[in-house]
A and B are shown apart, each in its own frame.
Chain A
């Protein structure tokens, strides 16, 4: 469809699988993308048909292909707002997780830190056009000792014409190793 999306470098065929990931390559973003894609194995995102396209620490780009099962208005074929909400939620969560190093990059952080969503605010600017992909870009904006702030934007043709935008706030939770 030749849709515009943020041009960044990483592109991998197929889904990553944590078990198959070999030694870290020279490109940390590539590793992160591979590993986060395996993380996109989150059942609900997979069930919707969503995927992580690329990722770097604190940033993620996801794609939701149009699907009839996600329609909210059968008269118009427009996606249910909830499907967009779920992608925005996931993009914020993945951006926070990779920003904290909890997802994948730092074994120590992974063992000792977790995080939970406090709230998610969503603004709907316009209906998503049927029969077209929805792109969702998530970004971890600020990490403090206890609270992490994230933003995400859903769009189709252009990142400058958002379908919806989200602001998410997360709290980090210390967990004891092995617990």
Chain B
């Protein structure tokens, strides 16, 4: 991916905020990315289109899964200096609490970094970072660099 390849060529860190803007699905979800040290933090403001259950209203489970998956991928890109977007192999999302109609955040860490595959744990939270509303654990394939 050009944005990633350019950063690698110039020996510069990847602009994770710009990455969110050039990936259409991330722009569609309204996801923004920033760095907290070596940790990528995603932020997704509430939007009515993200609702799955209109009665509560609650975020759609798929939105929660999408944000966790994105957090895992972007952290994998950042940590491995990948020039291609890692591909999901498998993951499990545990739904711990209802995703309410407020801003949602996500972060991830690489539990294991192999040459070809990374094992990533991701967490999603709203008001309280210590009380995640969903977590992900999964494997992502690093494309041949």
Interface residues, chain A, with chain B CB atoms under 8 Å away = 42-47, 68-75, 79-83, 85-90, 93, 116-124, 127
Contact = CB atoms under 8 A, between A and B. Distances in A.
B90 A79 contact: no
Nearest to B2: A75
Nearest to A124: B88
Nearest to B85: A73
Interface stretch (B32-40, B46-54, B116-124): B46-54
Given A42-B51, A75-B2, A89-B65, A82 B93 contact: no
A71 B24 CA distance: 5
A121 B95 CA distance: 11
B63 A44 contact: yes
Given A71-B25, A82-B69, A121-B90, A43 B95 contact: no
A89 B66 CA distance: 11
Interface of B: 1-2, 22-29, 48-54, 60-63, 65-67, 69-70, 85, 87-95, 98
8 contacts: A44-B49, A44-B60, A46-B49, A69-B27, A82-B67, A117-B95, A121-B91, A122-B90
A158 B95 CA distance: 31
Given A43-B51, A44-B49, A90-B60, 7 more contacts: A42-B52, A44-B50, A70-B28, A73-B85, A85-B93, A86-B65, A121-B92
B61 A82 contact: no
Nearest to A46: B49
